[in-house]
Structures are given as C-alpha cells and as structure tokens.
C-alpha cells in the first residue's frame, strides 16, 4: 500500500554529497567554501533572529537592491531562490515547453528535476575532451541548460559561443548555471540586456560562503523574471527566510572578504593542480573551486576509499567515462597540502588503491 501518486513511483531522487556531522574530517566533496562567512554575517543574522516572529519580506527588497548593484542589473531582472536548486526546479517545471537538452556529464540534479516534472530530455554527450560545444545543441526546439563552468569537469564555454547560440535561436531559452562562475570564467549576466532568451542562474553557496543559508539567484529579462515570480508566488512566497536575507546582505557588503577568499581558492587551485600533476595525475584545466583528476591505471573508487581512511572525503561518480576520476573541492592551502601528503603516501606505499 502506498499513498504516493502513481506518477512519482519511478522517481529517482538526487543523492547529495555526504554531509557528515562530525568534525575532524577534511571535507572536499561538495564544493563549499572552506572559509567562514564574512565577519559581518554573524551579527546580521543575530539581529534578524529577533524578528523571527514575523514573516520575511517576500520581495526581498533590500537584498535585491544590493545584489542588483553588484551584478549591474535592474531589480526587476533578478529573482531569488532557496538555493539555486529551487530556481532550477522552477525552470524545469515552467520553462521547458518543448522539453530540455543538457550534457551527459553535468550536475546530477538536472535528470532528477526532469523526472520530477516529467520534462522530456535529450542528453547531449560531452566531446571527447569533456568540453561542451553549443553547436551540438543547435538541432531541436528544446530549452538548453548548461553549467558554466561545468560540473564535475570545471571546463568553460566561452561567451562568443553563448552569444552565437542566443542569436541563432531567439525562440529557444538558454539557461546558464553559473554556480562556479566567480572562480575564473566570464559571466553571461551582462548579455541579459541584449537577449530575452537568456537566463543566468547563480548561487551564494560556493564563492560567497553561504551554502548553509541557501540562496540562489537568477538574472534575466524582466518578463522572464515576472514569469518566475508567478511560479514562486503560487508555491512559497516566503522562500528566502529573514536570516538568509540578512546574511546575504552582510556578505555583499564586504567585497574585500569575498575577493580575498576567491583569490585564495584560485591560487590554491593552481598550486594543488601542479602538485597533483607532479604525482602523476591527469588534471582537467578547472575554472571552478574544484579539480577533476584521474591517476592513469588506478581505480578511482580505491583511491577515494584510501583517502577516506585518512579522513579526507572527495566526490566520485559511478558513471561511464569518469568512474576513475576524483572531484576534489579546493579547501584551504593547508588542507590541500594534507591531501597531497596523503596521496603521496597512498601512491608510494603501493597500497591497493
Ligand atoms: N548548480 C551546480 C552546477 C551545482 O554544482 C550546485 C551545487 N551542488 C548547484 C547548482 C546548487 O547549488 P545551491 O542550491 O546550493 O545554490
């Protein structure tokens, strides 16, 4: 006996990266920032907590004004979500009249949303070198969704290619998931002024130290944003809680902290990549806050397990072409040195990995 509607019986939910609730682990499996929120965040959240008896501002007025300034867009060109995951859910639900196209190796939630909302999908394989070529998406009438930089590869699609696609297909929506944009790729947000068929999605989870607060945003033409609001206000008008609004405002107020953290991650990524290559790993050129690496001739599963015995958690995917790759989040310089030490140990000792 089940009370679940029949149409959900075949639904396969997303498996989030493990969130172990114990300390002492080096947690490099879900691409969070290794740095705490900006110093002003704690006080702002404490102040907001004294107003928890009231509902939050459903229009997120103050936060939107500040973020609009940051992204150089108008407030009515911005939408906020409870994590960018919620925005992606709205997009699958409401902006896929002809179905959707996305790559075979990309963010694992896309196929789940397509299952949840019964959106027909066509999966476009990445090229041999794991790159996304937007011309592979030219045929068809579907909405197109790409992560840029892509996850788990860290590879980038350049703006001229995006611009070409938008110009060639004015009647198709292109969604760009920019979760990792701040770590080295060029944002498509400025293009929303020119193209009403572009929606750019971003998050405060990776480069702004607020994964736990759950805040994502979308930038697009005011008419796309009005349609997103139609869905939100038909579902949960208070999707961004008051403490999150206050936390994000305080984070945005401290540009220098954001830049310092971001720059440290970028520098650490370069040092870590060099060290991995010295050990014999092949590493894709990443523009994100993680690297995707493989050790030729070694099982990724065993390597990940060996790291885990040394209290280091990384992400691995049981998928064709990438089963031996490790996706390793860039932590602090000290954490990444510990990863290199551990890998050196594992590889030298000829442990089973
Ligand atoms: N898009 C991509 C490509 C991601 O990797 C993630 C993080 N798992 C998200 C979106 C969702 O991030 P959040 O919901 O924390 O904003």
Going by alpha carbons, the residue nearest to atom 12 of ligand 1 is 84
* Same fold? 19-35+256-348, 39-253: no
Relative to the CA of 147, which ligand 1 atom is closest? 3
- Cα 85 to middle of ligand 1, angstroms: 6
- Cα 339 to middle of ligand 1, angstroms: 24
Residue 315 DSSP label: B
Supply the pLDDT for residue 15.
87
Class of domain 19-35+256-348 as given by CATH: alpha beta
| 29 ligand 1 Cβ < 6 A | no
- Cα 147 to middle of ligand 1, angstroms: 9
d(C-alpha 296, C-alpha 347), whole Å: 12
Supply the pLDDT for residue 253.
98
Supply the pLDDT for residue 18.
83
Residue 207 DSSP label: S
Relative to the CA of 84, which ligand 1 atom is closest? 16
pTM for this entry: 0.97
Residue to mutate (ligand 1; options 152, 179, 240, 248; most atoms within 8 A of CB): 179
Q: Say if CB 65 and CB 262 are below 8 A apart.
A: no
Supply the pLDDT for residue 352.
57
d(C-alpha 299, C-alpha 159), whole Å: 36
| 107 ligand 1 Cβ < 6 A | yes
Relative to the CA of 203, which ligand 1 atom is closest? 16
- Cα 108 to middle of ligand 1, angstroms: 10
Which CATH number does 39-253 carry?
3.40.640.10
Relative to the CA of 215, which ligand 1 atom is closest? 16
| 307 ligand 1 Cβ < 6 A | no
Task: Give every CB contact of residue 224 below 8 A, 6+ residues apart in sequence.
Answer: 95, 196, 199, 218
The tens digit of pLDDT for each residue in 79-110 reads 999 999 999 999 999 999 999 999 999 999 99
Q: Say if CB 122 and CB 137 are below 8 A apart.
A: no
Domain ranges of the chain: 19-35+256-348, 39-253
| 177 ligand 1 Cβ < 6 A | yes
- Cα 69 to middle of ligand 1, angstroms: 23
The tens digit of pLDDT for each residue in 145-157 reads 999 999 999 999 9
Give me the helix-helix angle, 300-309 and 333-348, nearest 10°. 120
The total number of residues written for the chain in this structure: 353
| 33 ligand 1 Cβ < 6 A | no
| Per-residue pLDDT tens digits of the chain, which is 353 residues long | 889 999 999 999 998 888 888 788 999 999 999 999 999 999 999 999 999 999 999 999 999 999 999 999 999 999 999 999 999 999 999 999 999 999 999 999 999 999 999 999 999 999 999 999 999 999 999 999 999 999 999 999 999 999 999 999 999 999 999 999 999 999 999 999 999 999 999 999 999 999 999 999 999 999 999 999 999 999 999 999 999 999 999 999 999 999 999 999 999 999 999 999 999 999 999 999 999 999 999 999 999 999 999 999 999 999 999 999 999 999 999 999 999 999 999 998 865 55
Phi, psi for residue 81 in degrees, rounded to 5: -130, 160
| 211 ligand 1 Cβ < 6 A | yes
| 210 ligand 1 Cβ < 6 A | no
Residue to mutate (ligand 1; options 109, 157, 202; most atoms within 8 A of CB): 109
Supply the pLDDT for residue 185.
98
Q: Say if CB 345 and CB 281 are below 8 A apart.
A: no
| 220 ligand 1 Cβ < 6 A | no
């Amino acid at each position: 006996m089940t009370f679940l509607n029949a149409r959900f019986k075949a639904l396969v939910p997303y498996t989030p990266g493990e969130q172990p609730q114990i300390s002492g682990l080096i947690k490099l499996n879900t691409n969070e920032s290794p740095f705490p929120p900006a110093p002003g965040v704690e006080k702002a959240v404490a102040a907001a907590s004294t107003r928890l008896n009231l509902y939050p501002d459903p229009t997120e007025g103050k936060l939107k004004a500040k973020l609009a300034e940051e992204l150089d867009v108008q407030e009515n060109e911005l939408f906020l979500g409870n994590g960018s995951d919620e925005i992606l859910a709205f997009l699958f639900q409401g902006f896929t009249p002809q179905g959707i196209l996305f790559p075979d190796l990309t963010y694992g939630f896309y196929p789940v949303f397509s299952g949840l909302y019964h959106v027909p999908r066509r999966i476009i394989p990445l090229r041999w070198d794991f790159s996304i070529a937007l011309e592979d998406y030219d045929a068809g009438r579907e909405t197109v969704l790409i992560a840029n930089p892509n996850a788990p590869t860290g590879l980038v699609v350049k703006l001229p290619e995006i611009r070409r696609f938008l110009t060639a297909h004015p009647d198709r929506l292109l969604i760009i998931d920019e979760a990792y944009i701040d770590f080295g790729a060029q944002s498509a947000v400025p293009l929303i002024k020119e193209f009403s068929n572009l929606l750019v999605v971003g998050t405060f989870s990776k480069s702004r130290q607020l994964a736990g607060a759950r805040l994502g945003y979308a930038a697009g033409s005011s008419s796309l944003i009005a349609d997103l609001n139609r869905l939100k206000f038909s579902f949960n008008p208070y999707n961004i809680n008051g403490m999150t609004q206050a936390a994000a405002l305080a984070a945005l107020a401290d540009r220098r902290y954001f830049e310092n953290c971001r720059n440290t991650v970028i520098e650490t990524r370069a040092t870590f990549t060099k060290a991995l290559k010295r050990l014999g790993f092949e590493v894709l050129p990443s523009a994100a806050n993680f690297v995707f690496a493989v050790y030729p001739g070694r099982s990724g599963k065993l390597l990940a397990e060996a790291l885990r015995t040394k209290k280091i958690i990384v992400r691995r995917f049981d998928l064709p072409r990438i089963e031996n790759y490790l996706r390793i989040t860039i932590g602090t310089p000290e954490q990444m040195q510990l990863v290199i030490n551990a890998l050196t140990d594992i590889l030298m000792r000829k442990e089973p990995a």
